[in-house]
Chain A
Amino acid sequence: MDNQFDELFRNQLEHAEVPAPEGVWEAVSAQVATKAAAGTAGTALSGAVIKGAAALLIATASYLAYRAYTTEPQIEVQAQPQTNQTQVSKALPSPKVENALTTVPETAVQRPGKATGEAIAHTETIVCNGVDIADYETVPAKTEEPSGKQSTGQETQTGHTEQPCAWTRAFKARISAESARSVVHVHCLDSFAAGTLLTWFCNGTEIGKGQSIRYTVLNHRSVRMNLKIQLPTGCATDQEFGPMEIEGCDVDQNLLVPNVFTPNADGINDPYRVLICGAEQFQLSIFDRNGTRLFTSTDPDSGWDGRINGKTAPEGMYIAKLRYRFYGHQEQEKTTMLWLKGTLQH
C-alpha cells in the first residue's frame, strides 16, 4: 500500500524534467571559468598585466576595424587634451573621430579648438545625425583594474568599453539601493538621441530597458550592474558599475512563507504573515479546505489573525495562496499548506 503510494510519486517525479531557469548556465560557466583562470594567471599582478594587454589588443583591433570602414569625417569631436596618458589611448589615432555608420548633414555645427596629438582624457561633443547626442567626459580605457574595488552606490563609473565605436568613454549612472527592500534603482545620467537603446544587466542577466528602472535583487547581497548603450547608429558600448552591496532583507531570501502559525496571542507567530521584501505587487489569500476564501490582503504587513468572521478558526490545515511580483520579474504564484495550531482560548 505504502509502496504503491511511493511508487506513484517515484514514477512521476524520478525522471521528471523541468526546464532550468535562465541565467544558471551563465553563472555556472562564469564560476567554473573563474576558477580555471585564477589557476593559470598566478598572481593578481600578472592578471592585471594580461588584462591590460587584452585591453590594448581590443582597442587596437577596434581601431583597425573602424579604420577600415572610415570614409568621410562624419562625427565632429572637440577635445581639450588633459593628462593621464595611457598605453591604450595611444591606439586612438587622433581626437577626430569618424564613424562610418553615421551620416551627418553638412549643417552640423563646426566648432573651433580641435586638438591635435594623442589626446586621452577629453570632453567630446558628438554630433550624430546633426544632433548633439551628449557631452561626455571621456576617460582612458583602463590598463588595469584594481581587484576588490568597492563602490558604494551613488555615482560610479568605469572606463570599460569594447565595441566598434572609435571612442572610449565612461557614462555615468546613479545606482541607489532602496534600503531594506532589496530593490535597486538604476538611472543613467546621460541623455541620448531618440532611438538609443539602454539595456541593463544585473550580474550578467538582462533585467530591463530604459533610462531608469527598478529591479529586485533576489538572494544576492552584492551586485554588478551593466549598462549596454546602443546608439541609433549601431554603435554599442558596455559599461559596468559595481560591485555594490545591497542593503537588502534581514533574511537571506526575499520570500519566506511560514507553514505553521499559532494565533494564541503569545506574541510569536500570532497573525499569519509572509515575509517578503522587494515586492512590487503582493496578494495573500487564505482558504479553508473546502476552498472557501477566509482572508485576503495586498499588504504584506497585515496578516491573518486566525479568525473567521470574528470567531476563532478551528485548528487544522488551511491553504495559503500567494501571488507576488518583484520589480523586473514575472508574477509568481505559490500555494502552501498552512497549519493553524494553538488557537486563542476564550
Chain B
Amino acid sequence: MSTNKEHVDRALIRRCLDGEPRAQKELYERYSGKMYALCLRYCDNRDTAKDMLQEGFVRVFRSLANFRHEGSFEGWMKRIMVNQCIEQYRKEQSDPWFSDVQEAHHIGVDDHAFSRLGMQDLMRAVQSLPRGYRTVFNLYAIEGYTHKEIGIQLGISENTSKTQLLKARNMLKRIIAAMEGSSHG
C-alpha cells in the first residue's frame, strides 16, 4: 500500500537493470530476510532453505527485466521463491525416506498454548510437518492459494489438497501440544 515503498523498489530495480552491482546488493539486503523466512517455511532444514534462497535470488535478478510493475514487487519476488520451493517439493517427491504419514487423529489442544508460541515455535511446527502437508498448508493458509491452484501446482487433485490441509492442521495441533510437553522434560 505504501507508495514510498514502491518508489524505493522502482528506483532500486532501475539501478539494477542499469547493471549497478551495489543496487543488486541493496535489493538483496532489503528482501533476503523475508525471503529466507519464506524458504524456511517450505523446507525442513536450513541448508535446503539456503539453497532455495540462493537459487531464488539468482532467478529474481535474471528475470528482473520481466517485472511489469503491475503488482507489488515483494509479491512478485515471493511468487518466484514459492515456485522455487514447489520445484524442490517435486524433486523430493521421489525420496523414499520422506513417506507421508497416512493418519492423523484429533487431539484436544489447549488454546492458550498458541498465544504463548512465538514465530520461531510456529515456524518449527510448520517445518516438522511431513513435506506434503507442509507444502499445502503454506500455500493455502499463508500464501492464500486456492485448492484448485494448489492442485495444479503440485500435480494433485483438489480433494487431495483439501484432505492434506485438514491433516496438516490436525498434526500442527498435535505438534504444538507435543512441543509444550517436551519442553518440560
Contact = CB atoms under 8 A, between A and B. Distances in A.
Interface in A227-254: 253-254
**What's the dominant secondary structure at chain B's contact region?**
helix
Interface residues of A, number: 53
Contacts of B114: 8
A290 B185 CA distance: 7
Contact of B182 (A256, A259, A275, A287): A287
A133 interface: no
A257 interface: yes
A329 to B, nearest CB: 10
Contacts of A334: 45
Contacts, number: 142
Contacts of B29: 25
Contacts of B15: none
A259 B122 contact: no
B123 interface: yes
B174 A275 contact: no
Interface string A71-93: 00000000000000000000000
A20 interface: yes
Contact of B142 (A10, A18, A289): A10
Interface stretch (A26-34, A112-120, A152-160, A303-311): A26-34
A256 B98 CA distance: 9
A15 B142 CA distance: 10
A27 B98 contact: no
Interface of B: 19, 21, 24-25, 28-29, 32-37, 40-41, 44-48, 50-51, 53-54, 57-58, 61-62, 97-99, 101, 114, 118-119, 122-124, 126, 128, 130, 137, 140-142, 169, 171-175, 177-178, 181-185
Interface of A: 2, 5-6, 8-10, 12-21, 24-25, 27-29, 31-33, 35-36, 218-219, 253-260, 275, 287, 289-293, 317, 319, 321, 332, 334-337, 339, 341
